[in-house]
Amino acid sequence: MGKDSGWKQKLSSVFDIIGEILAVVLVLVFAILLLNAEFDFLANAETFRRILEGIRGYGTLLLVAVVGLEAMVKRNFILFLIFAAIIALCVIFMFFPDARNYLTGLIPA
């Protein structure tokens, strides 16, 4: 093990704990939404259902990002940066859908 393995191990442990918590929360959210699809017990709680659907959508990306970062922190720093840049790209396109039009407008025809 190299001299930098201590911080890598600590960061990996942090990502591991966060990933475990996110996984449990997402399984609960998925279970509630699947049960609701069958029994429609959230019929009068539209806001709560929409919050759960938001958690399902964004939480899935967050869980994948945390698990991926945990894996990449064990590799070299360049792979970690590339993976972080890909996550950033996904987040940008999720929150700013017009970013594609802006970016393609920057390229000369």
As for how many domains the chain has, the answer is 1
- First CA to last CA across the chain, in angstroms? 51
pTM of the model as a whole = 0.79
Along the 109 residues of the chain, how does pLDDT read in single tens digits?
455 568 888 999 999 999 999 999 999 999 999 999 999 998 899 999 999 999 999 999 999 999 999 999 998 899 999 999 999 999 888 888 888 788 788 888 6
Q: What is the pLDDT of residue 3?
A: 59
Q: What is the pLDDT of residue 5?
A: 67
Q: What is the pLDDT of residue 104?
A: 80
* Range(s) of the domain holding residue 80: 5-106
* Residues sharing a CB contact under 8 Å with residue 83, sequence separation 6 or more, in sequence order: 68, 69, 72
